[in-house]
């Protein structure tokens, strides 16, 4: 059946060297599954827009190929690609009504019967009541929807969205995220959503590719990327993480059961081989702050896991729903612990309290200690 033909968007060995010699994209490999909501996430300047512009045909690829299914579109003219783009600045025609803005793409293609498709798209984007207004009479969120409607009217196979919510304030941004996801699942078109906002990528996308300095660092589901990052950059860019020095002692078992034993300041912990992303004996042991459990030393500690004593609460930040504790470990390093304020403890732990620290090694990951522990911190 024709509609079972694979229509994944595939970028292979893609490179972009600008005329001034700057290499913005380097050997980029990426498969965007057909019909998925895909996020390209990375700090400002890492090459996201350059990548999208190559897919759209607005920029020539210096090397590599771009294909959709079996069709190579690397050198295809922009208007002949089954691809459309929504930019952050909506680029609406100010003198045309919303309906005319949306209709424009169909008319240009010579489509005569525009009424039905235009009304379908206006309904999908909840713009029917605005159809006869001009763009200037609309709010930012509504204008963004018009830009989306205009890009969808030609039913592209792939829709590229370059920081489409970047101009909206936080509250509107959150509601538009839900809207965009609903629209994508209704139309079933492949969405490639570019953003530097990790929370936006995590909450919206089926798959996220984390991009850094012109390359893809890791690709996976939000859950895979967050719980099992392969580099310090990915670990830090997707939320907070504790990175603790360790030394590999050896391996045990084989296949899916293979474990790597690591010494961490005198405590031996076993970590699944599938969460080990280095062959070096010196490692970073990564532990997410919400996986760290603390208990004042005069209270019994329950639960299984790797265990430390003699840590001290050195700072505390109460946020209502949770509390962020800073723990000074016996070896002098500060770790972060996020605790939900469930009330189980009765109250908060006060600064200066000696605590036991517990964490489940099945959630830890091992990274190469030659990587910068601060990579990806404070970047946007």
Binding site for ligand ADP (CB under 6 A): 18, 20, 22, 24, 42, 44-50
- Residue closer to ligand ADP (CB basis): 44 or 340: 44
> Min. distance of Cβ 204 from Mg ion in angstroms?
17
166 or 296, CB closer to ligand ADP? 166
CB of 211 to Mg ion, least distance (A): 11
In terms of CB distance, is 302 or 380 closer to Mg ion? 380
**Minimum distance from residue 191 beta carbon to Mg ion (Å):** 17
Q: Distance between CA atoms of 267 and 269, rounded to whole angstroms?
A: 6
Q: How far is the CB of 32 from Mg ion (least distance, A)?
A: 18
Which lies closer to ligand ADP via its Cβ, residue 130 or residue 236?
A: 236
CB of residue 21 to ligand ADP, shortest distance in Å: 8
Residue 93 touches which of Mg ion, ligand ADP, none (CB < 5 to 8 A by kind)? none
**Residue of minimal CB distance from Mg ion?**
49
Q: Which of the listed partners (ligand ADP, Mg ion, none) does 210 bind, with a CB threshold of 5 to 8 Å by partner kind?
A: none
Minimum Å gap between C-beta 162 and ligand ADP is 7
Shortest reach from residue 58's CB to Mg ion, in Å: 13
Q: At what angle do helices 98-108 and 140-152 cross, to 10 degrees?
A: 20
Is 52 or 122 the residue whose CB approaches Mg ion more closely?
52
Partner touching 45 among ligand ADP, Mg ion, none, CB below 5 to 8 Å by kind = ligand ADP
SS3 for the chain is CHHHCCCCEEEEEEEEECCCCCEEEEEEEEEECCCCEEEEECCCCCCHHHHHHHHHCCCCCCEEEEEECCEECCCCCHHHCCEEEECCCCCCCCCCCHHHHHHHHHHHCCCCCCHHHHHHHHHHCCCHHHCCCCHHHCCHHHHHHHHHHHHHCCCCCEEEEECCCCCCCHHHHHHHHHHHHHHHHHHCCEEEEEECCHHHHHHHCCEEEEEECCEEEEEECHHHHHHCCCCHHHHHHCCCCEEEEEEEEEEECCHHHCEEEEEECCEEEEEEHHHECCCCCEEEEEECHHHEEEEECCCCCCCCCEEEEEEEEEEEEECCCEEEEEEECCCCCEEEEEEECCCCCCCCCCCCCEEEEEECHHHCEEEECCCCCCCCCCCC
Which partner, ligand ADP, Mg ion, none, binds residue 18 by CB below 5 to 8 Å per kind? ligand ADP
Residue 288 near which of ligand ADP, Mg ion, none (CB within 5-8 Å, type-dependent):
none
150 binds, among ligand ADP, Mg ion, none (CB under 5 to 8 A by kind): none
The site for Mg ion (CB under 5 A) is made up of 49
Which of ligand ADP, Mg ion, none has residue 20 at its interface (CB below 5 to 8 Å by kind)?
Answer: ligand ADP
Cβ at position 29, least distance to ligand ADP in Å: 17
Please, which residue, 49 or 184, has the CB nearer to ligand ADP? 49
Nearer CB in complex with ligand ADP: 24/225: 24
With 0-12 / 13-18 / 19 or more C-beta atoms within 10 angstroms meaning exposed / middle / buried, residue 297 is middle
83/194 with CB nearer ligand ADP:
194
């Amino acid at each position: 059946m024709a509609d079972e033909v694979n229509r994944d968007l595939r970028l292979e060995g893609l490179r972009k060297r600008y005329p001034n010699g700057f290499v913005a994209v380097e050997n980029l490999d990426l498969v965007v599954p057909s019909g998925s909501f895909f996020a390209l996430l990375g700090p400002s300047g890492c090459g996201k827009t350059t990548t999208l512009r190559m897919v759209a045909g607005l920029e020539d690829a210096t090397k590599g190929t771009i294909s959709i299914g079996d069709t190579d579109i690397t050198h295809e003219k922009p208007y002949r690609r089954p691809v459309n783009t929504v930019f952050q600045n909506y680029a609406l025609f100010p003198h045309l009504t919303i309906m005319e803005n949306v209709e424009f793409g169909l008319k240009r293609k010579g489509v005569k019967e525009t009424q039905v498709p235009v009304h379908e798209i206006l309904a999908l984007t909840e713009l029917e009541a605005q159809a006869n207004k001009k763009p200037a009479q609309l709010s930012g969120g509504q204008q963004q929807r018009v830009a989306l409607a205009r890009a969808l009217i030609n039913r592209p196979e792939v829709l590229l969205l370059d920081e489409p919510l970047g101009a909206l304030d936080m509250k509107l941004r959150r509601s538009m995220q839900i809207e965009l996801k609903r629209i994508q699942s209704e139309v079933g078109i492949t969405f490639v959503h570019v953003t530097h906002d990790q929370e936006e990528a995590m909450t919206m996308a089926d798959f996220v590719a984390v991009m850094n300095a012109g390359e893809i660092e890791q690709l996976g589901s939000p859950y895979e990327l967050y719980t099992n990052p392969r580099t310090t950059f990915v670990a830090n860019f997707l939320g907070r993480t504790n990175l603790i020095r360790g030394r590999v002692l050896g391996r045990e078992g084989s296949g899916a059961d293979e474990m790597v034993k690591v010494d961490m300041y005198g405590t031996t912990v076993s970590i699944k081989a599938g969460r080990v992303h280095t062959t070096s004996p010196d490692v970073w042991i990564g532990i997410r702050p919400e996986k760290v459990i603390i208990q004042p030393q005069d209270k019994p500690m329950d639960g299984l896991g790797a265990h430390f004593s003699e840590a001290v609460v050195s700072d505390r930040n109460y946020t209502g729903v949770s509390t962020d504790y800073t723990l000074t470990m016996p070896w002098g390093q500060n770790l972060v612990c996020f605790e939900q304020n469930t009330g189980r403890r009765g109250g908060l732990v006060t600064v200066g309290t000696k605590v036991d620290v517990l964490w489940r090694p099945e959630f830890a990951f091992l990274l190469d200690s030659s990587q910068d522990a601060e990579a990806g911190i404070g970047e946007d």
